[in-house]
Structure formats: structure tokens, C-alpha cells
Amino acid sequence: MASPTILVLPFEERGPIPNNPRFPALVYRHAFPPELADLASAIEQRFDENGWPPAWRNGIYDFHHYHSKGHEVLGIAKGSAELLLGGEGGRELGVRSGDVVLLPAGTGHRRLSASSDFLVVGAYPPGQSGDILRDAPTVDIRTAISRLARPAKDPVFGREGPLLEHWSDGL
């Protein structure tokens, strides 16, 4: 596999979006060859092999939201989209087939626009999930986010990779 370009995007709290003070969002440009006949299945297989069991295939909501019960990885299986990460005033980001976006719990995200064929594979580490939160975090939600440990493996590269390099958890 060719080495993807990695974007490291730390975000501070913005309005009702807590973001994650410990872990930056990571974007893997060209993590998968977009010309694969069944890219969605290839992404699911890789995520699963690396301990991130695939949870869904769909798009990305068009409203700001974040998750407190899980870190989320988004594999772009078809099409392209413009996303906004980090809440209002965050980072606008174009994604396309073959890209992967890794969002630590608390990171705001929304779809601004997308091609008609846009398809995403979503996954979470074992025991974690993607609750959909839109309101400012309570103390309990902030605590839940802060207690989520760094996963043992990078969803694309396994025991090596950007997650292990950029998500320091005292390990």
C-alpha cells in the first residue's frame, strides 16, 4: 500500500462542540486505491483486521454533531464531499474515495455538500459507539470523552501508523 498523506488537525472547544483536548483529528489522504471494484468491502476488511469492526455504511449528517461514547473512523468508499470538522469556524475539508478521516470522541463534524454517490464506511473500536450529540457537553459527557483511551491499533495500519504517533495516551 502506498503511503498516504496525513493531516493532523487539533481542535479546541468551539461553542457547543467540545472537540478533544488530547487527540487531534487525523485525515489519511489516499489511504486506499479509489479504483478498487468494491472499495467499501476493502475498507471494512482493513478496519476489521485492525480491531475497528465496521458499524455502518451511509453518508455523514449535514448538521454539527459529535460522539462521547466512541472514537470514529470514516472510510470514504465512493464519491466526494466537503466536510466541516471542529464545529463552526473549524476546518473545511474536501474528501474523496480512498480517504479516511479519524475523529477522536468529542470532535465536531458535519457534511457541507456531497456528490450523489457519496458513501462512507463507519467504524468504532470494540465496546465503543457513535452516540449523536448536538448540545453543549455536560460534565458527564466531558468525563466520558476524557475517559476513552487511545485504541490499541490504527484502523488503517494496525500496530503502527498515525494514530499511534499522534494520539499520545501515556502509553
Encode pLDDT of 66-93 as tens digits. Answer: 999 999 999 999 999 999 999 999 999 9
Q: Is residue 171 part of a domain?
A: no
Q: Is residue 169 part of a domain?
A: no
Q: Is residue 156 part of a domain?
A: yes
How confident is the chain (171 residues) per 10-residue block, as mean pLDDT?
85 95 97 96 98 97 97 98 97 98 98 98 95 95 94 95 86 42
How many domains does the structure of the chain reveal? 1
The DSSP letter of residue 69 is S
**Rounded to whole angstroms, how far apart are CA atoms 110 and 162?**
23
Q: What CATH number is associated with residue 73?
A: 2.60.120.10
Q: What is the pTM of this model?
A: 0.96
Pick from 114, 124, 121: which is nearest to 58 by CA?
A: 121
Q: Is residue 170 part of a domain?
A: no
Domain of 51, in residue numbers: 5-164
Q: Is residue 28 part of a domain?
A: yes
